């Protein structure tokens, strides 16, 4: 967590680091992405007559740290870039810790002051040293890509995970992972001829590879091994069993392919809570029969048991009830049935909050919206076809009309004397008889005609014409005679 100086102002503008990088946030000048130590002794003066500890902790790429002594008593503070002893040549790194806390870190790693791994600090890095260092770092990505091509050509069963150049650019360390022993003598020759540098091969494990590369875990945070975890402890499946987790390798494994380190973080809490619980293989003897364990809720102290002969139903019991049954069984007494014990268990009611803000289903926005135009077109297509409407019995418009006797009867049309000229002739040369007009059932009376509308006269004319052609009548012959 960052110190207070790394915050922002009221307008959201960052304040900057006012502690000269002496915070443990992991992003300041003295920190790193892994194992940033807050030097809480930096503002304290040493007792009289005591010299300052002359060994410094220097950080390199991907959190790699080593201890170096300062034989020339250079004025070095945390965050300085220094040139240190390499093998061969020199390397460039950043001072990550100084002072008395370096003793604590060395004791933690079991390194003494006269250890062979504690090398020398040559000088503070000049601008020329920094330029060469940055140029070498810029070539690491291309070197790694070409190195993988050479690996594929040779067909070696190994994975090249990272490349790190030394500060002077004369040496490169290739980090790789492999399941079996690999003969890479020809590979080193190809690397040396391709890159014209000294080559050092270093094998790392799957966890060390994940710690160097970094990433984001399933919890949404950065990997513990690449941020603050310093050592890798053994993780077994028993840690998952104690925490009542399903033994699913896809969920229990991390990005390195091994069991997650966080399985050990809460294991002590579960072990303390399980001290009062009975063993899971213990059988309860009741009046109805023997009951066996099914599952448990550790922190709610609830256990589920079922009968051996009737396993279709589980019974919820509290921890006190189970311990009571065990005490009765020790005295060769059978307890009451599990149904009676379950009826006494008070299950807390789950509080359902009102859906006031509209917390609906999370997938409610996944369904695409349909436009109104498409919906209207779909409704139109759902209408019945014309043939179906034609087959349906049409409502009779004359059903609600009053009887014809009570209505005003229309006067009979008078015969037209000029109609004889237009009559077609029959086969014997005589004109066809004039048909007698019949009342039109579809014609609406004046009462049924709505107000404000004009009568349509074309329809009855067309109907009369059809009647003359299709329904001849002999009434005209009687009148003629």
Question: The sheet that has 198-203: what strands, in order across it?
Answer: 159-165, 171-177, 198-203
Question: How far is C-alpha 51 from the chain's CA centre?
Answer: 55
Dump the DSSP string for 251-284.
HHB-TTSSBPGGGGTSHHHHHHHGGGSPPTTPPE
| Helix 140-154 / helix 127-138 crossing angle, nearest 10 deg | 40
> Which residues are registered as beta bridge partners of 85?
90
Q: What is the mean pLDDT of residues 48-73?
A: 87
Q: With a threshold of 0.85, does the pTM exceed it?
A: no
Q: Kindly indicate the confidence band of residue 227, based on its pLDDT and cuts at 50, 70 and 90.
A: confident
Dump the DSSP string for 284-352.
EEBSS-EEEEEEEETTTTEEEEEESS-TT--EEEEHHHHHHHHHHHHTT--B--HHHHHHT--PPPPPP
Q: Kindly indicate the confidence band of residue 374, based on its pLDDT and cuts at 50, 70 and 90.
A: low
Q: How many CB atoms lie within 10 A of CB 458?
A: 7
Residue-averaged pLDDT of the chain: 76
- pLDDT higher than 70, residue 24: no
Q: How many CB atoms lie within 10 A of CB 321?
A: 23
- DSSP annotation of 222: B
Sign of CA dihedral 246, 249, 250, 255: positive
- Could you tell me the two tokens for 356? 């006031």
Q: What is the mean pLDDT of residues 160-185?
A: 91
Q: What is the CA radius of gyration of the chain?
A: 49
Query: What pLDDT was estimated at residue 368?
Result: 75
Q: Between 179 and 472, whose confidence is greater?
A: 179
> Quick one: which H or E segment has residue 174?
strand 171-177
**What pLDDT, in 10s, does the model give residues 296-318?**
999 889 999 999 888 888 999 99
CA distance 321 to 417: 116
Residue pointed to by tokens 């009741």: 286
CA distance 35 to 20: 18
Question: By CB neighbour count within 10 A (0-12 exposed, 13-18 middle, 19+ buried), where does 92 fall?
Answer: buried
Query: What pLDDT was estimated at residue 353?
Result: 60
Domains, the chain, ordered by start: 4-125 (no CATH), 135-212 (3.30.300), 233-273 (no CATH), 277-343 (no CATH)
**What pLDDT, in 10s, does the model give residues 319-361?**
999 999 999 999 999 999 999 888 888 777 776 665 555 556 6
Query: What pLDDT was estimated at residue 438?
Result: 64
> Quick one: which H or E segment has residue 421?
helix 419-422
Residue pointed to by tokens 């040549």: 89
Residue pointed to by tokens 């009434």: 475
CA distance 205 to 227: 17
**What pLDDT, in 10s, does the model give residues 271-283?**
899 989 999 889 9
Q: Kindly indicate the confidence band of residue 411, based on its pLDDT and cuts at 50, 70 and 90.
A: low
Half-sphere exposure of 299 (CA within 13 A, CB side): 5
Query: What pLDDT was estimated at residue 349?
Result: 73
């Amino acid at each position: 967590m960052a110190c207070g100086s790394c915050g922002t102002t009221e307008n959201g503008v960052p304040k900057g680091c006012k502690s000269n990088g002496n915070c443990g946030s992991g992003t300041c000048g003295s920190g790193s992405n892994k194992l940033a130590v807050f030097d809480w002794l930096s503002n304290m003066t040493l007792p009289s007559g005591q010299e300052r500890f002359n060994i410094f902790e220097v950080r390199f790429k991907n959190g790699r740290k080593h201890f170096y002594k300062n034989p020339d008593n250079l004025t070095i503070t945390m965050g300085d870039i220094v040139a240190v002893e390499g093998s061969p040549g020199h390397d460039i790194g950043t001072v990550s810790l100084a002072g008395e806390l370096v003793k604590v870190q060395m004791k933690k790693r079991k390194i003494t002051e006269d250890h062979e791994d504690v090398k020398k600090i040559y000088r503070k890095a000049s601008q020329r040293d920094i330029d060469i260092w940055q140029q070498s770092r810029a070539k690491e990505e291309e070197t790694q890509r070409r190195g993988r091509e050479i690996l594929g050509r040779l067909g070696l069963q190994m994975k090249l995970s990272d490349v790190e150049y030394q500060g002077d650019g004369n040496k490169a360390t290739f980090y790789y992972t492999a399941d079996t022993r690999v003969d890479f003598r020809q590979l080193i020759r190809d690397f040396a001829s391709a890159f014209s540098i000294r080559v050092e091969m270093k094998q790392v494990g799957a966890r060390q590879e994940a710690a160097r590369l970094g990433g984001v875990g399933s919890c949404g945070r950065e990997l513990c091994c690449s941020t603050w975890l310093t050592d890798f402890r053994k993780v077994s499946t028993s840690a998952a069993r104690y925490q009542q987790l399903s033994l699913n390798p896809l969920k229990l494994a991390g990005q390195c392919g091994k069991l997650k380190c966080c399985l050990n973080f809460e294991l002590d809490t579960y072990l303390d809570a399980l001290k009062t619980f009975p063993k899971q293989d213990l059988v309860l003897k009741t009046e109805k029969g023997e009951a066996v364990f099914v599952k448990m809720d550790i922190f709610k102290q609830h256990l589920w048991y079922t009968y051996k002969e009737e396993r279709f139903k589980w019974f919820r019991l509290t921890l006190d009830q189970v311990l009571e049954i065990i005490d009765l069984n020790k005295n060769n007494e059978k307890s009451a049935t599990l149904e009676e014990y379950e009826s006494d268990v008070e299950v807390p009611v789950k509080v359902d909050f009102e859906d006031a803000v509209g917390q609906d289903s999370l997938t409610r926005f996944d369904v695409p919206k349909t436009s109104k135009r498409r919906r209207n077109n779909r409704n139109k297509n759902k209408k019945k076809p014309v043939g179906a409407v034609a087959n349906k019995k049409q409502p009779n418009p004359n059903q609600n009309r009053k009887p014809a006797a009570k209505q005003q009867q229309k006067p009979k049309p008078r015969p037209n004397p000029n109609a004889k000229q237009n009559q077609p002739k029959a086969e014997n040369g005589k004109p066809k008889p004039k048909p007698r007009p019949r009342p039109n059932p579809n014609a609406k009376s004046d009462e049924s005609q709505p107000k404000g509308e004009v009568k349509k006269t074309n329809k009855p004319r067309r109907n009369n014409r059809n009647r003359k052609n299709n329904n001849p009548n002999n009434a005209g012959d009687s009148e003629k005679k």
